[in-house]
Amino acid sequence: MSHQGPGLHRPPADDRGGVPWPGNQPDVRDYPAGYSELLAYRRAGHPDYAGYPDYQASPGSEASQGYQTPPQEYQASQGYQTPQRYETSQGYQAPQEYQAPGGHRTSAVITEPPAYPGPVSDEFATPVINPAPVDSPPASDGDEDPTAYVGLTPPGPGRGPTPGAWRRRGRGLLAGMTTGLLAAAVAITVAILAAALLRPQASPVTAVAAILRSAASTSFAVRHLGARGHVVLLTLAWLAVAAVAMTFGLIARRRRAPGVIGMTAFFGAAAAFSVLTRPGSQAVDVVPALLGGVAGALALAVLASAASPQVVLARAVTRVRGGYQRTGELDVVGTNRRRFLLASLSVTAVAAAAGVSGRLLMRKGVTVAPPEVAGPVQKLPALPASARLDNIAGISPFYTPDGRFYRVDTALVVPRVTTQGWKLRVHGMVDKPIEINYEDLLSRPQLQRDITIVCVSEAVGGGYVGNARWQGARLADLLREAGVHPGASQIVMRDVHGMAIGVSTEAVMDGRDALLAVKMNGQPLPAEHGYPVRVVVPGLYGYVSACKWVVDMELTTYAAYDAYWSKRGWTAQAAVKTESRIDTPKATKPLTAGQVVVAGVAWATHKGIAKVEVGVDGVWAEATLATQDTIDTWRQWYYRWDAAPGPHTLQVRATDRTGYTQTAAVHGPPPNGATGYHTVKVTVA
């Protein structure tokens, strides 16, 4: 049997991802020690060749005697054929047709014939291609990423099989984080959509926001994060949710089950628990949260599957004459970007569709319509120019615009209350329970009143205070019609969600203008501020008076019932404290030596402001006041300061009309409002 020499035929390149290594052909003496056809067949799992350890081609042998015949007893092995009976197989050339091995490169197209062809000499070892193990995936798995091995450094000469040499890493961290974020987006938007279809107040987002809007967290935010502390708190909360979602995404990429279970537990079970613990919740309110958790888990499973590393046939390679050949073992490489991108776009589309639909449904029915007042309206004259100092740059305007008016409540999703469906029920310790609708309310005499309202979470110098012109019916008149019992010390007011606020009966009935308000600054109440009807009681902090979306009033006693905030440690009755604030200059604003205007507002609701003083480095001087509108509103003030270069400390204090001067003692908002001087440190150049 003769064989050709250097003129070597080269099979085509591997079309399944196996890329022959370019460059000079290695010398046969570079074969790894111990390499043999026997080793190749052992890797292939040949059943009859395991017991013949002495048969091995000599590395470096270049004899052309042809194939050596193994011992007679081995010829009887099942499947053995002599070289003369060697049959060609798929893409394989018979030995007599083979060219000399110089420059030959292996190709995955060449496969082992079904029958064992017999041993070959080392000179003709190159074309031996091991069939893939029985448990290997089909060769098509290598089609996923034909560039998987481009640019990778091959193993060094003589190293032989190198498991893991082709392992590609990367893109796992980004894919995992993206997976978690998109799955969380699906969970949240599906929950919002389900809540919009079922009950808007059942939204888990609303429940979580209620926790963040609680008086305790709000006061913390204002005290440590400034006037916009609540916005910062919400932002931090969303960042925390995003971090948890990304963590689940990274876990699911490596271990699918723990990540999916965690996503379901956090966005389903935990969210459902937060919904159930809200005041006025119902058992059915857990449905949106659970649906969202399941949807998020499914999205995570789909994305984690798409982001999982792909599998190819070529984990180990063997260096042979003319290049490298694959042994057919599995290898894990990077994410298939095309597959992951398609899955991500699909999940994003689902989240966007659910989110937009939920938002549209939530807004439906919250359209604010101008009330058609049937009863007489006691209008206030226009505010005199002397009562406002709005021309001073940086000062709070006398009337706070609706869009800038502070908002603290337990409802992130605005309730859908229509004027046609609104009713107010008055019951409890009364002679005659009363129920009125919106038309009945508008037929009653209407009052316009300028009233400043303050949140108990207002830190000294904070932003949870605002002044507006309100219009509505006097609440005391309605209660007199019902006939309040002498022992009824508390009015428990409930909103459409069942949120309960307790207000002192005496404060409502003592002659102050407590209103069932339907207008704010001349316009219908904004939906966020209680449309169609809310309660405004001058002189009391909002948590014991300012009930939005009010639908129920129960006359009772403080001993018989603790309202929502009272149960959380806040004082049951809380009058607004005398306070003042510096609006300008700001601590961050650089100042120039010379005359500087220091200005702001002061309030002592239902008592009135008599005097405001400004302290510069401990030296106090009286400020100029705008004309007092009413004792129920704040009062603007200003002071002209001859500023000298250097650092300075500015402070302000107010004295109300009862003679009480704002205390310097610093105290946080709990349990009934903050105290202390508002202090601003500035630097004058």
578 vs 611: CA distance, rounded Å = 11
Phi-psi region of 378 (alpha: psi -120 to 50; beta: other; left: phi over 0): beta
> In the CATH hierarchy, which fold is given to the domain comprising 579-684?
Immunoglobulin-like (2.60.40)
pLDDT of residue 210: 60
- The residues of the chain scoring below 50 in pLDDT are 1-69, 71, 73-170, 227, 313-317, 329
Q: Which pairs from 509-512 meet CB under 8 Å and 24+ separation? A: 509/476, 509/479, 509/480, 509/484, 511/476, 512/537, 512/538, 512/539, 512/606, 512/632
Please name the residues in contact with 344: beta carbons below 8 A apart, sequence gap of 6 or more. 178, 182, 303, 306
Q: Do domains 377-568 and 579-684 have the same CATH topology?
A: no
Tokens of 552: 């129920």
pLDDT of residue 214: 56
pLDDT of residue 33: 39
Counting DSSP H helices and E strands in the chain, the numbers are 13, 23
pLDDT of residue 331: 53
Neighbouring C-beta atoms of residue 455, cutoff 10 Å: 26
Tokens of 222: 């204002």
Q: How far are the Cα atoms of 468, 490, 594 from residue 574, in angstroms, in the given order?
A: 21, 13, 43
Please name the residues in contact with 377: beta carbons below 8 A apart, sequence gap of 6 or more. 445, 446, 447, 448, 471
The DSSP element (H or E) to which 450 belongs, if any, is strand 446-454
134 vs 125: CA distance, rounded Å = 23
Instruction: List residues bridging with 495 in a β-sheet.
Output: 550
Strands of 168-322, DSSP E: 309-313, 317-320
pLDDT of residue 100: 41
514 vs 504: CA distance, rounded Å = 11
Neighbouring C-beta atoms of residue 417, cutoff 10 Å: 22
Tokens of 426: 């008055």
Is 127 within 8 Å of 109 (Cβ atoms)? no
pLDDT of residue 228: 55
pLDDT of residue 631: 96
526 vs 521: CA distance, rounded Å = 10
Is 526 within 8 Å of 409 (Cβ atoms)? no
Peptide bond into 585 cis (omega under 30): yes
Please name the residues in contact with 553: beta carbons below 8 A apart, sequence gap of 6 or more. 424, 425, 426, 427, 428, 491, 492, 493, 494
Q: How many residues does the chain have?
A: 685
pLDDT of residue 222: 53
Is 502 within 8 Å of 492 (Cβ atoms)? yes
Is 263 within 8 Å of 247 (Cβ atoms)? no
The CATH homologous superfamily for domain 377-568 is Oxidoreductase, molybdopterin-binding domain (3.90.420.10)
Of the candidates 467, 412, 444, the one whose C-alpha atom is nearest the C-alpha of residue 518 is 444
Instruction: List residues bridging with 614 in a β-sheet.
Output: 621, 652
Neighbouring C-beta atoms of residue 302, cutoff 10 Å: 19
pLDDT of residue 12: 41
Domain locations along the chain: 1-131, 172-316+328-363, 377-568, 579-684
pLDDT of residue 172: 74
Tokens of 16: 């399944």
417 vs 414: CA distance, rounded Å = 9
598 vs 584: CA distance, rounded Å = 6
Percentages helix, strand, coil for the chain (3-state, rounded to 5) are 30, 20, 50
pLDDT of residue 327: 52
Q: What is the pLDDT of residues 494-526, one digit of tens each?
A: 998 888 999 999 999 999 999 999 999 999 999
- CA neighbours closer than 13 Å in the CB half-sphere of residue 455: 24
pLDDT of residue 445: 95
